[in-house]
Amino acid sequence: MKFCRFNETRIGVVRGALVHDVTACLDALPALRYPYPLGDALITNLDTLRPLMEKLADETKGVAIDSVQLFSPVANPTKIIATPSNYSAHAAEARADPEIAVYQGERARSIQEQGLFLKSASSLVGAAQGVTPRFPDRRTDHEVELAAVFGTITAGISEEDALSCVAGYAIGLDMSVRGKEDRSYRKSADSYSVLGPWIVTPDELGDPEVLDFWLRVNGEMRQESNTGLMLVKLRRQIAWASSVYTIYPGDILMTGTCQGVGPVKPGDEMKAWIQGIGEMDVRLNDYV
Ligand code: MN
């Protein structure tokens, strides 16, 4: 199943080029009382709700996916976990580019030395909101990444079992202003995390570790790779993350970007694609 959030408050099941409004499924969510549990209520209950979502999609006439505004398919993650320098060709270009290398210092560090990093949950937007760059005099780059969305509370999971806690996959854009500050500062501005266009459940996607993906800007190919080229594989990233952070439903893992990162500016149109997920169009808004 592919499911999305659209027009801010609507939940949709995506079939082909159509989105079927299944928002009525939210009536089946358990009532919550303060203090609310951490995480995203829809993702928490996805397994229970899925038959109802499929049924409602069968019964509802779809509308063209192009006619709706796609929001982040996760409304309330507690955190976005991200892996740095996870493709060797990107690590090499980062070392060779003074504006990127400035952060790493003189010595190129391994992923293990750098550690995972966190992006703020409030930086998250969907495709329709677009990215609003914050630093007019500096370089904001695109980074296209496979994103895993977690479905269950998970701590200390093994590499072998790691994929069992994934609710689905989406395209992630880890937007980054280049500079010397910590990653959490440079990558957590409002709209610097894009998730979408929808979430594809694991049964529909197949093996997430062999997916082609690319990103174009204004039609020009910028990034192109395959998730099989990750230095730290997806299962290991999840086991690693869960050994440090308890993972909550709706939490997102951005798995690192490939070579070809580069600057974008207001008016640019990014188009990202991941095999088995689909295409996502994201515009660069004016500076704030
Ligand atoms: Mn990244």
Q: Are residues 209 and 85 in the same domain?
A: yes
Q: Are residues 166 and 233 in the same domain?
A: yes
Q: Are residues 18 and 90 in the same domain?
A: no
Q: How many CA within 13 A on the CB side of residue 72?
A: 26
Q: What is the DSSP letter of 54?
A: H
Q: How confident is the model at residue 104 (pLDDT cuts 50, 70, 90)?
A: low
What confidence tens digit (pLDDT) does each residue in 114-149 have?
999 999 999 999 999 999 999 999 999 999 999 999
Q: Are residues 168 and 260 in the same domain?
A: yes
DSSP string, 237-261: HHHHHHHHS-B-TT-EEE----S--
Separation of 193 CA from ligand 1 center, angstroms?
Answer: 10
What confidence tens digit (pLDDT) does each residue in 166-204 have?
999 999 999 999 999 999 999 999 999 999 999 999 999
Separation of 281 CA from ligand 1 center, angstroms?
Answer: 18
Asked whether residue 130 is assigned to any structural domain, the reply reads: yes
Asked whether residue 185 is assigned to any structural domain, the reply reads: yes
C-beta separation of 6 from 70 below 8 A: yes
CB count in 10 Å sphere of residue 30 = 10
Separation of 56 CA from ligand 1 center, angstroms?
Answer: 36
Separation of 3 CA from ligand 1 center, angstroms?
Answer: 24
pLDDT average, residue stretch 218-243: 98
Q: Are residues 238 and 107 in the same domain?
A: yes
Question: What is the predicted pLDDT for the residue at 212?
Answer: 98
What confidence tens digit (pLDDT) does each residue in 73-94 have?
999 999 999 999 999 999 899 8
Q: Are residues 54 and 172 in the same domain?
A: no
Separation of 287 CA from ligand 1 center, angstroms?
Answer: 22
Q: Are residues 84 and 181 in the same domain?
A: yes
CA distance readout (Å), 194 to 31, 95, 174: 29, 25, 7
Choose the final residue of a domain: 71, 93, 119. Answer: 71
Separation of 141 CA from ligand 1 center, angstroms?
Answer: 10
Q: Identify the CATH number of the domain in which residue 185 sits.
A: 3.90.850.10
Separation of 246 CA from ligand 1 center, angstroms?
Answer: 21
Separation of 258 CA from ligand 1 center, angstroms?
Answer: 9
Asked whether residue 146 is assigned to any structural domain, the reply reads: yes
Choose the final residue of a domain: 45, 71, 97. Answer: 71
* 106 pLDDT above the threshold of 60: no
Q: Are residues 211 and 145 in the same domain?
A: yes
Q: Are residues 269 and 130 in the same domain?
A: yes
Q: How much of the chain, in percent, has pLDDT values that exceed 70?
A: 98
Number of compact structural domains in the chain: 2
Round the average pLDDT of the chain to a whole number and report it.
96
C-beta separation of 3 from 12 below 8 A: yes
* Domain carrying residue 58: 2-71
Asked whether residue 144 is assigned to any structural domain, the reply reads: yes
Q: Are residues 215 and 238 in the same domain?
A: yes
Q: Which element (helix H / strand E) includes 96?
A: helix 88-96
> Whats the size of the chain, residue-wise?
288
Alpha-carbon gap, residue 193 to 216, rounded angstroms: 17
Separation of 182 CA from ligand 1 center, angstroms?
Answer: 13
